[in-house]
Amino acid sequence: MRKIDEILGDISINQKIKSIAIAAGLLALTFSTVITIVGLNNNMRYRKSMDNFFRQFSLMRDISENYNKIRAMTTEYLLFWGDKPITDGLSEQFDACFVILEADIVELEGMLPPLSPQNEAINKVYGYLYHLQNFRFTLPSLQPEETESFFIKLQKEIIGPLDNNITVAFNAMVKNIDQESKINQKRYSESVTSSYIAIAVFFILGIVYVSMIVRNIRVPLSQLINSTEYFGRGDYGVFNSVNRKDELGILNNKFVSAAQEIKKVQTELAIYAKSLQELNTTLEMLSTTDQITGISNRRALDEFLGRAWDECKRLHIPITIMYMDIDRFKYFNDTYGHLKGDECLRSFVRCVRRYIKRTVDIFARYGGEEFVAVLPTTPGEAALALAEEIRCAVQDMKIPNPKSEAGPYVTVSIGLAARYPYQIDSAQALMELADQMCYNSKSTGRNRITLDAGPPYDAESESLSLANIRTSAQAGSGSR
């Protein structure tokens, strides 16, 4: 079957449709031809048989009529025995009738089977008629008183058997006709059955051929339709090339080429998209990371501070900003150069990060030698203790900075601003307050910490502040 499909796959669809039409035409022509031939053959055989029987029947009828005439002439001949003019005339009629009767018997014998009962009966009729023809030659030797006994003897020995054999011949002919009719009917049924079998075989072969053609078209067409549905959904991996040279094969292979090309482009686009995503990630990281120290920059700090402020405001918890400035860092750069300055900044960052390591906090470079840490959920007292640890740790690094009036080593001045969000206007205001506290630390001698913890937490004041915020929001929306 697969080999047949491969062969049919090389034929175009138009040729397949034409072959189906030709097959249907040949099937119809075969059907009509077989029916016509069978019908004509049976009709000719039946007509020939019936003509034969009709001729036999006509001959038997003529034999019977002529026999009845001869029988009547025989009786009349005996009645007028002695009247020469009458008997001579009867003899002439008898001979003429016998000639016709003999010709009919000879023709009938030629039409009958040699050993049939009808043929035997006709032979006997012919023999008795021959004896009947010769009875006239026996009459001259008879006495008048012997005529009656001769007639009785003639009736018994010739005319009676003639009647019986003619009846037997008629009956045999009728029986033969009936048998022959049954034989013809059987032959007709057999021939019709044979013709129907032949037609069925041709019909089945035609259906098989058409089915193969339809299957050769339908199966790949269904596969192509399913593949196009996958194609429409963006699944390009279900197409397979086929070794067909018809339109379906060409179309399928076109789809395969298109799918492979699209899949190739998709693969390239996926590679480009991945590279672009990695590049965007890198750019985003670069945009939020300080290049010298590797910690968050001011942009990342501003974004984090906004989110942390809103969260602390929602949860009614404190937030502290730690503002750090390395003392006399410009002197350090002037003394040791900018490369050493960058190394100093990185050492400072490593030191501070040992203390600011919670995931909810952020430590960022604010600019130059200024650094900021945002500490949500941290009140002022806890932030002050943490800042003291950081100040001491930085001083203990003992990085030389001889021109600083705060001491021979690198030190840091820290400003702390701690508030509940309801106690101050905004996160930016809190940042400015922390900057001011850092400035106070530097102006009072450096290497020290200044804390502005604000007023103590008051739940009633927080409620009034929230009510005022809501009132202001409603008024603003009403004016709009």
Residues 203 and 280 in one domain: no
Residues 280 and 388 in one domain: no
d(CA 70, CA 83) in angstroms, rounded, equals 19
Helical ranges in 233-337 per DSSP H: 247-287, 298-315, 329-336
Residues 443 and 343 in one domain: yes
Does the pLDDT of residue 393 top 90, yes or no? yes
pLDDT at residue 37, as a whole number? 78
Residues 280 and 305 in one domain: no
Instruction: Using pLDDT thresholds of 50, 70 and 90, give the confidence band for residue 74.
Output: confident
Residues 200 and 54 in one domain: yes
pTM of this structure: 0.47
pLDDT at residue 91, as a whole number? 74
Which listed residue (76, 369, 460, 462) is catalytic? Answer: 369
Lowest-confidence pick of 92-101, 226-235, 387-396, 421-430: 226-235
Residue 184 corresponds to which tokens in the numbers above?
């013809």
Domain assignment present for 164: yes
Determine what percent of the chain is predicted with pLDDT higher than 70. 68
Please give the tally of structural domains in the chain.
3
Instruction: Using pLDDT thresholds of 50, 70 and 90, give the confidence band for residue 302.
Output: very high
> Of 158, 121, 109, which Cα lies nearest the Cα of 138?
158
Instruction: Using pLDDT thresholds of 50, 70 and 90, give the confidence band for residue 398.
Output: very high
Average confidence score pLDDT of the chain: 79
Domain assignment present for 226: no
Domain assignment present for 254: yes
Please identify, among 287, 318, 349, the residue that sits at the C-terminal boundary of a domain: 287
> Which residues span the domain enclosing 271?
241-287
pLDDT at residue 296, as a whole number? 94
Residues 249 and 323 in one domain: no
Does the pLDDT of residue 56 top 80, yes or no? no
Instruction: Using pLDDT thresholds of 50, 70 and 90, give the confidence band for residue 476.
Output: very low
Mean pLDDT of 11-30: 70
Domain assignment present for 81: yes
Are 333 and 421 spatial neighbours (Cβ–Cβ below 8 Å)? no
Residues 97 and 19 in one domain: yes
Residues 335 and 441 in one domain: yes
pLDDT at residue 480, as a whole number? 36
pLDDT at residue 475, as a whole number? 46
Domain assignment present for 372: yes
Place of tokens 């022509």: 29
Does the pLDDT of residue 472 top 60, yes or no? no
Does the pLDDT of residue 470 top 50, yes or no? no
Please identify, among 211, 233, 253, the residue that sits at the C-terminal boundary of a domain: 211
Question: Which contacts qualify for 94-99: CB closer than 8 Å, 24 or more apart?
Answer: 94/70, 94/133, 94/136, 95/133, 97/66, 97/69, 97/70, 97/73, 98/66, 98/70, 98/129, 98/133
* CATH number of the CATH domain containing 467: 3.30.70.270
Does the pLDDT of residue 478 top 90, yes or no? no
Residues 258 and 362 in one domain: no
pLDDT at residue 82, as a whole number? 63
pLDDT at residue 230, as a whole number? 67
Residues 351 and 467 in one domain: yes
Our answer to whether residue 369 is catalytic in this structure is: yes
Domain assignment present for 36: yes
Residue 392's H or E segment, with its range, is helix 380-396
> Of 73, 70, 77, which Cα lies nearest the Cα of 142?
77
Residues 109 and 132 in one domain: yes
pLDDT at residue 62, as a whole number? 82
Domain assignment present for 113: yes
pLDDT at residue 477, as a whole number? 43
Residues 45 and 171 in one domain: yes
Hey, which of 186-195, 245-254, 299-308 has the most confident mean pLDDT?
299-308
Domain assignment present for 231: no
Does the pLDDT of residue 390 top 80, yes or no? yes
Q: Where in 296-441 does DSSP place strands (E)?
A: 319-326, 362-367, 370-376, 412-419
pLDDT at residue 385, as a whole number? 96
Does the pLDDT of residue 479 top 50, yes or no? no
